[in-house]
Structure 1
Amino acid sequence: MAAAAFSLTLSSPVSKPHTFCTSYYSKPINASFSASLPCKRSPRTALKIVRAVSISSPDLRTGPDDLVASILSKVNQSDGGVSLAKEEHKEVAEVAQELQKYCVEAPVKCPLIFGEWDVVYCSVPTSPGGGYRSAFGRLFFKTKEMIQAVEAPDTVRNKVSFTALGFLDGEVSLKGKLNALDEKWIQVVFEPPELKVGGLEFRYGGQSEVKLQITYIDEKIRLGLGSRGSLFVFQRRTQAA
């Protein structure tokens, strides 16, 4: 079922570190290079030069904080990527590729994956929410929010909230169990979707599964790459005071 195709980037149920992942970032060595250390290595480990970069572009970002700010500025208020032009999708992909250089060594084992996340972007905008997010579906269903909750040790909950026909509130939700395939890839098997519209509530369809790679994670965002190449950007939800 297309509605099950929420991307996720999750943790292995068999590995539960007791401390949060810590990444060590060095300042650029010079104007042409940036360096990083994965979180599991000692700060005394030799710096790894990732590659030379040009400083001719005014939009260039070389540090993780700048890259995170840049990608969020491009995808926020884009209706999950729907309103972006082809060139803008390309810019998002370029920033995501740069951020991969700062990903922790074993993101599947990083406790930062747990919590609630807003699905703020997908390179294939119809993937989160399936038919409800298609060009035809958007004529009748206005998406209010797309949320993914990752709960220890191995539970994933996806929810798309919408307004149908301009006056009926509804939501589609899925619950899944995750399995780690390696240190970067996970598989999640989802139960049949549950649909709630007005006072009605029912399940439809069958099980579904996704395989995804975690390409970057920190306290603010998480990037995921689907097995078919779709890029997802998740932004951590802030807790109300």
Structure 2
Amino acid sequence: MAAAATSVAILPSARRSCDAGKSRSIVFSSRSSKSVSFPSQPRRRNGNLRIACSVSLTDREVRTGGPDDLVDSILSKVSETDRGVSLKKEEHAAVGEVAGELQKYCVPEPVKCPLIFGEWDVVYCSNPTSPGGGYRSSVGRLFFKTKEMVQAVEAPDTVRNKVKFSLFGFLDGEVSLKGKLIALDGSWIQVIFEPPQLKVGALDFQYGGESEVKLQITYVDEKIRLGKGSRGSLFVFQRIG
């Protein structure tokens, strides 16, 4: 996994809902730092940035509890697939079709919804190397068996990614990243990660440099969250806390 391209797309434990008629505020803040150029997305990191997102939800907007059949369908399609690695092309297409249907039920401006916070299991990605980078490549999987891939999004603006693995089947290790979340608009977020931390046996060290990812939240409810990367990769996250 190349450090500069690490993009494990990670969230507090109690389940939440976007309660109708209540107002919530989510504040994202960041300080200027080094960046990787993404010409297709506008930069919003010059100087200090403070975005105060105040959301008032109506009954009409709370639509995430309705499409339970679609949620169950997409989870069944990605279950026991090594996070999508074992799926065939047509099966990936079927997952994408259900994700497209679920997107129609997404709350307006999901970045402002408190449901994005929590701890999530990364259960699927249409591109196996997007979450975990080289550790999840076809060669990397020969040496690193993924045991856990978790993303935690903590209020107000912290993202923690963690991949636990077994090296050669007997030596446990993990790679973790801590990032700063920045709201770009109502559905897009940017996360700027510190250099990754690697633990293998008695070794514990930081390597590489900063990295960043951009992700569009296309659906979120009490069970799952869907995201689409800036290069089109589809992610399915299942809530575990």
> Is the shorter-chain TM-score for this pair beyond 0.5, marking a shared fold?
yes
SS at 2:75 equivalent = helix
Q: Could you list the per-position Cα deviations for residues 81-128 of structure 1 after superposition, in whole angstroms to 9, with x for gaps in the alignment?
A: 001011100000000000000000110000011110000000001111
Conserved in 1, the CA contact under 8 Å of 2:188 and 2:216? Answer: yes
Q: How does 1:12-161 map to 2 (within 5 A)?
A: 13=28, 14-15=51-52, 37-39=60-62, 64-161=67-164
SS at 2:164 equivalent = strand
Give, in angstroms, the shift of residue 16 of structure 1: 5.9
Q: What is the number of residues matched between the two proteins?
A: 201
Give, in angstroms, the shift of residue 76 of structure 1: 1.3
2:96 maps to a residue whose letter is A
1:5 maps to a residue whose letter is S
Q: Distance in 1 between matches of 2:4 and 2:83?
A: 16
Alignment-derived partner of residue 7 in structure 2? 5
Q: Distance in 1 between matches of 2:237 and 2:154?
A: 15
Alignment-derived partner of residue 185 in structure 1? 188
Q: Does 2:209 match 1:210?
A: no
Q: How does 1:166-177 map to 2 (within 5 A)?
A: 166-177=169-180
Give, in angstroms, the shift of residue 179 of structure 1: 0.5
Q: Distance in 1 between matches of 2:62 and 2:240?
A: 23
Structure number with greater Rg is 1
Cα pair distance change 1:3/1:163, threshold 3 Å: farther
SS at 2:163 equivalent = strand
Q: Could you list the per-position Cα deviations for residues 117-174 of structure 1 after superposition, in whole angstroms to 9, with x for gaps in the alignment?
A: 0000000011111111111111111000100001110000000000001110000000
Q: Distance in 2 between matches of 1:39 and 1:201?
A: 44
- Unpaired runs of 5+ in structure 2? 12-25, 29-50
Give, in angstroms, the shift of residue 6 of structure 1: 1.6
Q: Distance in 2 between matches of 1:12 and 1:94?
A: 33
Alignment-derived partner of residue 47 in structure 1? none
SS at 1:150 equivalent = strand
Give, in angstroms, the shift of residue 7 of structure 1: 2.3
Cα pair distance change 1:114/1:146, threshold 3 Å: same
Q: Distance in 1 between matches of 2:191 and 2:73?
A: 29
Given candidates 160, 165, 170, the residue that maps to 1:162 is 165
Q: Does 2:204 match 1:198?
A: no
Q: Distance in 2 between matches of 1:3 and 1:144?
A: 21
Q: Distance in 1 between matches of 2:218 and 2:89?
A: 22
Q: Could you list the per-position Cα deviations for residues 20-73 of structure 1 after superposition, in whole angstroms to 9, with x for gaps in the alignment?
A: x67x5xxxxxxxxxxxx4239xxxxxxxxxxxxxxxxxxxxxx51100000000
Give, in angstroms, the shift of residue 17 of structure 1: 5.6
Q: Distance in 2 between matches of 1:155 and 1:117?
A: 14
SS at 1:80 equivalent = coil
Please provide the CA RMSD for this pair.
2.0
Q: Distance in 2 between matches of 1:129 and 1:70?
A: 25
Conserved in 2, the CA contact under 8 Å of 1:2 and 1:129? Answer: no
Conserved in 2, the CA contact under 8 Å of 1:3 and 1:129? Answer: no
- Unpaired runs of 5+ in structure 1? 25-36, 41-62
SS at 2:104 equivalent = helix
